[in-house]
Amino acid sequence: MKVLSQNTAFGGMQGVFMHESEACKCEMTFAVFVPPQAIKAPCPVVWYLSGLTCTHANVMEKGEYRRMAAELGLIVICPDTSPRGNDVPDELTNWQMGKGAGFYLDATEKPWAEHYQMYTYITEELPNFVSQHFRMDMDRQGIFGHSMGGHGAMTIALRNPDRFKSCSAFAPIVEPSTADWSAPAFEKYLGADRSIWRQYDACALVEDGARFPEFLIDQGKADGFLENGLRPWLFEEAAKGTDIDVTLRMHERYDHSYYFISTFMEDHLRWHAERLAEALDQQ
């Protein structure tokens, strides 16, 4: 593991690291905030997945999570959104495809399949790697994200309900199979057979029987992507008649930016901390 930077914040450590990824066949960068409580004992982990065009740095620099994470004793891990490097395929003029737009899936189509294995990277490789280097309680993990990362968080939680104890999202793409800004990428990554897409679509996963206890979703009503890309009410509809508890909060005047995310970051971290504490009581 290469240490790119380490800084003290709120008594904890904010670090940025790089390692060689077997899944993505390139060097991958990720950020980790370790709270001061980790000096004495392993701490619960919350994964934050970023949105289109982002890297690990966007939430690290603008998400304003460190003060509350330090207070609550949460480790926050912020992976990159895609593989990187000169050998990694990309579409330079398309921000919805390629670098910065991995959609947290495992691509099956050429030329993407060789590197774009983000589902495996996030669910298997990176957790195994970081658990060897930081004092983490891997029995208490939560996951959340923004936009494309909200999509990733929700689908990963639905597919791994035994691993994750909590899930929330800011302005998630809840039905990427039919959204204007994700369906073209899905076809390029996964091929034309839409039945394969369903494993990476939160609404479709619920329709197909996947379950997770509860979700917190925050959405700005002034979000320019709300009608064509995000449509969180579709997930609320999909969950009706199931035992999934969906808390969808629609906020006047808020847009898609990190001003919105930072406003409600504390709510989300407290949401995760409460559920991860309950998981400790149940151990």
Q: Which residues are marked as active site?
A: 147, 223, 256
Do residues 79 and 126 make contact, with C-beta atoms less than 8 angstroms apart?
A: yes
DSSP state of 97: S
User: CA nearest 273: which of 106, 116, 140?
Assistant: 140
d(CA 240, CA 244): 8
Q: For the chain, how are helix, strand and coil distributed in percent, rounded to 5?
A: 35, 25, 40
Query: 244 with 207: CB under 8 angstroms?
Result: no
- Strands 136-146 and 12-21 come out as unpaired
Q: Is the Cβ–Cβ distance between 115 and 88 less than 8 Å?
A: yes
Q: Look at residue 153 and give its three-state secondary structure.
A: helix
Phi, psi for residue 279 in degrees, rounded to 5: -65, -35
Q: What is the rounded CA–CA span in Å between residue 27 and residue 24?
A: 8
Query: Edge to edge, what strands does the sheet with 26-34 contain?
Result: 2-9, 12-21, 26-34, 75-79, 43-49, 136-146, 164-170, 214-220, 245-251
User: Residue 246's closest CA among 203, 279, 283?
Assistant: 203
Q: How many CB atoms lie within 10 A of CB 86?
A: 6
